[in-house]
Amino acid sequence: MSDAAAARSAEPPLPSPAAVVLGVGGLYVAQSVIGGVTFQGLPAVLRKDGASLNEIAFVLLTVLPWSFKFLWAPAIERIRLPAAGGNRSRPVVGVIGAIGVAALVAAALTGPSMLGAVTAALVVGAFASATVDIACDGYAVESLAEKHRGWGNAAQVGGAYLGSAIGGGAFLILIDQLGWRDATLIMAGVLAALGLPFLLSRNPLRPHRSDAERPSLKAAFRRREVWFGIALVGLYVLGQKWAMVLIQPYLVDAGMSLSLIGILNGFVGAGVGIVGALLGGWATKRHGTLPVMMASLLAQVAVTAALSVAAYATWKSDAGLGALAIASSGVMAAGFVALYAELMGRASLDQAGVDFTLFQCADGVVSLIGWQLVGVFGDALGFAWCFGIAAAIGLGVAALLPAVMRG
């Protein structure tokens, strides 16, 4: 037997892809439940109780752990992948996930009337959720063969939509019926239940090589694949996401009611996003990442251009504008499934959680920069011009994308 064949035979078998997708899917939904409670549920409750917009903005502190999680990703990966070999993915997720559940319990018992205390509890919950995400992403990269990675990312993107619908939609209904404490305690129970498929799974964990370099940001930045991934994320976000922040204010200015916007953003948008993620996973498995990314990007350009024309013509159709807003959500979900499937292949198996976290943080940074620029120039240029410029940027990205993917 050759050395290469011997090395291949020594590789541990990969776990069942269906079981991996089910396990990580539950974790991804759970993470977004915390986000939905924090960014959609709590602000609505605070506003109903008479809080000012300035007080509600205080809740945005909870986004900080997600923006800076790359700073502690190496430490989490060193714990998850010990130097002596082995894999501690389940204990890491179990312990840190329990902290997230406890944070929601603390938020339930504190109540929104004590804004500082409830925000502190939710910051801890966001920190736990972002940290579980590091371990979860690392496990998914290690455990899924290339042909199944589209399904893993469908679970990630679709889970985000479903979790937001639970945390931002069902949570508000429960508050209306049961009050803050009981509704938030139910959300804590939902978090615990969503983690069980991963924690109770008997799938084998890929052991860490004892001779591998210890996970670190330095090791990540030495790899060309990481720089490629960061550049690819930045380019793709530039084409796909910069018009996102305009859509909801535009719908308001076009005369759509807040109730209808809420329905579109909540269960309808979540359903379309989940379908888009599943279709993206299927198409990525069948056709590969580049064709799906290109198709999604060009579809987003078409939607954005249509919004530009609608704004210029002062079109007021709730059905038509709602359909465009929902379409944007669905095509974006499909494209990002393909993007992150591509990025999984660029992450090192020796520190997948670190590399993948860097890609996600790059997504967040470029999105925030774009949204700030749109906010600065939006009032001066108007919706028609801003949507039009976003569509033109998307076309430019589509022209560059094949060359960047080959690089």
Q: For the residues 105-109, what does the mean pLDDT come to? A: 92
Within 10 A of 7 (CB to CB), how many other CB atoms are there? 10
**pLDDT category, 119, cuts 50, 70, 90?**
confident
Q: Which amino acid is at 255?
A: G
Query: Greater confidence, 76 or 7?
Result: 76
Residue 13, SS3 per DSSP: coil
The tens digit of pLDDT for each residue in 315-374 reads 888 888 889 988 988 898 899 889 988 888 888 888 888 998 899 888 878 877 776 777
- Nearest CA-CA partner of 251 in 301, 302, 305, 326: 326
R_g of the chain computed on alpha carbons: 21
Query: In this model, does residue 10 exceed pLDDT 70?
Result: no
Contact 180, 38 (CB under 8 A): no
Contact 343, 293 (CB under 8 A): no
User: Rounded CA gap, 36 and 104, in Å?
Assistant: 12
Query: In this model, does residue 307 exceed pLDDT 70?
Result: yes
Q: For the residues 159-180, what does the mean pLDDT come to? A: 83
Query: In this model, does residue 61 exceed pLDDT 80?
Result: no
Contact 262, 164 (CB under 8 A): no
Burial class (CB in 10 A: 0-12, 13-18, 19+), 270: buried
HEC states along 9-64?
HHCCCCCCHHHHHHHHHHHHHHHHHHHHHHHHHHHHHHHHCCCCHHHHHHHHHHHH
Contact 242, 370 (CB under 8 A): yes
* Predicted pLDDT of residue 403: 87
Q: For the residues 303-324, what does the mean pLDDT come to? A: 89
User: Cα 333–136–146 angle (5° rounding)?
Assistant: 65
Burial class (CB in 10 A: 0-12, 13-18, 19+), 190: buried
**pLDDT category, 17, cuts 50, 70, 90?**
confident
**Taking phi first (over 0 means left), then psi (-120 to 50 degrees means alpha), and beta for anything else, what does residue 317 get?**
beta
Share of the chain above pLDDT 70, in %: 88
Q: For the residues 159-179, what does the mean pLDDT come to? A: 83
Provide the mean pLDDT of the chain. 83
Q: For the residues 198-218, what does the mean pLDDT come to? A: 77
Q: DSSP assignment of 127-172, as one string?
A: HHHHHHHHHHHHHHHHHS-GGGHHHHHHHHHHHHHHHHHIIIIIHH
* Predicted pLDDT of residue 301: 94
* Predicted pLDDT of residue 2: 42
* Predicted pLDDT of residue 313: 87
Query: In the numeric block, which tokens belong to residue 46?
Result: 């605070």
Residue 86, SS3 per DSSP: strand
Q: For the residues 388-393, what does the mean pLDDT come to? A: 91
Query: In this model, does residue 5 exceed pLDDT 50?
Result: no
User: Rounded CA gap, 343 and 325, in Å?
Assistant: 27
Q: Which amino acid is at 206?
A: R
Query: In this model, does residue 4 exceed pLDDT 50?
Result: no
Q: Of 48-57, 59-68, 372-381, which one has max mean pLDDT?
A: 59-68
Q: For the residues 254-265, what does the mean pLDDT come to? A: 75
Q: For the residues 228-246, what does the mean pLDDT come to? A: 85
Query: In the numeric block, which tokens belong to residue 109?
Result: 């018992």
Query: In the numeric block, which tokens belong to residue 372?
Result: 């700030």
* Predicted pLDDT of residue 299: 95
Residues facing 86 on adjacent strands: 208
**pLDDT category, 405, cuts 50, 70, 90?**
confident
User: Rounded CA gap, 7 and 364, in Å?
Assistant: 38
Q: Of 38-42, 62-66, 234-238, which one has max mean pLDDT?
A: 234-238
Q: For the residues 164-190, what does the mean pLDDT come to? A: 86
Q: Of 69-83, 190-204, 290-304, which one has max mean pLDDT?
A: 290-304
Query: In this model, does residue 36 exceed pLDDT 60?
Result: yes
Query: Greater confidence, 202 or 21?
Result: 21
* Predicted pLDDT of residue 208: 66
* Predicted pLDDT of residue 187: 93
User: Rounded CA gap, 374 and 371, in Å?
Assistant: 5
- Nearest CA-CA partner of 152 in 327, 27, 331, 307: 27
Q: Of 17-21, 28-32, 370-374, which one has max mean pLDDT?
A: 28-32
Q: For the residues 187-196, what does the mean pLDDT come to? A: 94
* Predicted pLDDT of residue 7: 42
User: Rounded CA gap, 70 and 75, in Å?
Assistant: 10
Q: For the residues 225-237, what does the mean pLDDT come to? A: 90
Query: In the numeric block, which tokens belong to residue 171?
Result: 């949570």
Q: For the residues 191-210, what does the mean pLDDT come to? A: 81
- How far is the CA of 173 from the CAs of 29, 155, 182, 194, in angstroms? 18, 25, 12, 20
Per-residue buried b or exposed e for 342-364, using 16+ beta carbons within 10 Å of the residue's own CB:
bbbebbbebbbbbbbbbbbbbbb
What angle, 0 to 180 degrees and rounded to 10, lies between the N-to-C axes of helices 318-344 and 269-287? 40
Phi and psi for 208 in degrees, rounded to 5?
Answer: -80, 140
